[in-house]
């Protein structure tokens, strides 16, 4: 019973239950759409939701290792690197509004709500996993380094969303096709119009992620005991 209680507390601390609820709601909305429309439009949302859960899985793995082996700092870099590699997949779902259009017989208001719940879930997964990783870094390197890590990760998240939306790259392309990815980045920076889009898009989504994250952290602090 003590073990189950500790597991429950661990899952609560990492927001698993509301994340599962939000994901089930998103899947439910999509299931209703499939049944009503008799087609698989917006099926990409389901795949993107699966990818959004990947960084959360790596972050909770890192947190579990830290809890089980408090002095085993050397266990964290591997799940941490995988988390960072897949992290942009979570907030990336917001850009699926790019595909929004009227697709009869489903009214557009329903598809707006459908994409919105998927996007919300992706952002929630992103900020929850980032908070977990920040706390792990803080435990070993201090609060200042933890916040520096969070800010860098948020910036890289905005950059990764750009590469996914406009470059059509996936997380594993950083490993499988680094040269192609480097050429795409160089092309974006050297081409004035692409460069403006690259800088503007990256800064926009970095700012969005930053504000969402700060809101999440401030709300969490309301539950912290007063000293």
**pLDDT tens digits for range 13-35:** 889 999 999 999 999 999 999 99
Q: Give the pLDDT of residue 224.
A: 56
Q: Give the pLDDT of residue 53.
A: 97
CA separation for the pair 160, 86 (Å, rounded) = 9
H and E: helices and strands count for the chain: 9, 0
Mean pLDDT of 176-198: 74
Closest CA to 158 of 199, 193, 196: 199
Give the contacts of 212 (CB within 8 A, at least 6 positions apart).
123, 126, 127
What are the backbone angles phi and psi of residue 103, rounded to the nearest 5°? -130, 90
Closest CA to 59 of 43, 44, 78: 78
Structure tokens at 192: 């004035």
Please, what sign has the CA dihedral across residues 90, 84, 172, 210? positive
- Contact (CB, 8 A) for 7 and 60: no
pLDDT of 185 > 80? The answer is no
pLDDT of 223 > 80? The answer is no
Q: Give the pLDDT of residue 227.
A: 39
Q: For the chain, percent helix, then strand, then coil, each to nearest 5?
A: 85, 0, 15
pLDDT of 64 > 80? The answer is yes
pLDDT of 88 > 90? The answer is yes
CA separation for the pair 205, 217 (Å, rounded) = 18
Q: Looking at the chain, how many residues does it have?
A: 227
pLDDT of 65 > 70? The answer is yes
Confidence of residue 47 (pLDDT cuts 50, 70, 90): very high
Span of 39-48, 66-75, 111-120 with lowest mean pLDDT:
66-75
Confidence of residue 225 (pLDDT cuts 50, 70, 90): very low
Confidence of residue 168 (pLDDT cuts 50, 70, 90): confident
Beta-carbon count within 10 A of 79 CB: 22
Structure tokens at 44: 């990409």
Mean pLDDT of the chain, nearest integer: 89
Q: Give the pLDDT of residue 165.
A: 87
**pLDDT tens digits for range 205-217:** 999 999 999 999 9
**pLDDT tens digits for range 100-120:** 999 999 999 999 999 999 999
pLDDT of 195 > 50? The answer is yes
pLDDT of 221 > 70? The answer is no
Confidence of residue 94 (pLDDT cuts 50, 70, 90): very high
Q: Give the pLDDT of residue 176.
A: 72
- Contact (CB, 8 A) for 63 and 135: yes
- Contact (CB, 8 A) for 89 and 52: yes
Parse the chain into domains and list their residue ranges: 2-221
């Amino acid at each position: 019973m003590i073990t189950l209680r500790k597991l429950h507390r661990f899952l609560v601390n990492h927001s698993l239950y509301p994340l599962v609820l939000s994901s089930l709601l998103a899947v439910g909305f999509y299931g209703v759409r499939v049944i009503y429309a008799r087609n698989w439009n917006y099926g990409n949302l389901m795949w993107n939701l699966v990818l959004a859960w990947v960084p959360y899985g790596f972050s909770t793995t890192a947190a579990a290792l830290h809890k089980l082996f408090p002095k085993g700092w050397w266990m964290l870099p591997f799940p941490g690197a995988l988390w960072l590699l897949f992290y942009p997949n979570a907030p990336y779902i917001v850009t699926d509004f790019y595909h929004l259009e009227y697709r009869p017989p489903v009214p557009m208001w329903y598809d707006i709500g459908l994409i919105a719940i998927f996007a919300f879930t992706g952002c929630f997964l992103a900020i929850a996993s980032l908070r977990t990783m920040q706390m792990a870094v803080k435990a070993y390197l201090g609060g200042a380094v933890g916040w520096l890590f969070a800010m860098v990760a948020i910036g890289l998240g905005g950059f990764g969303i750009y590469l996914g939306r406009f470059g059509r790259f996936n997380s594993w392309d950083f490993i499988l096709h680094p040269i192609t990815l480097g050429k795409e980045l160089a092309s974006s920076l050297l081409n004035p119009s692409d460069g403006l889009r690259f800088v503007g898009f990256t800064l926009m989504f970095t700012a969005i992620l930053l504000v969402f994250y700060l809101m999440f952290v401030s709300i969490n602090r309301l539950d912290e005991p007063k000293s």
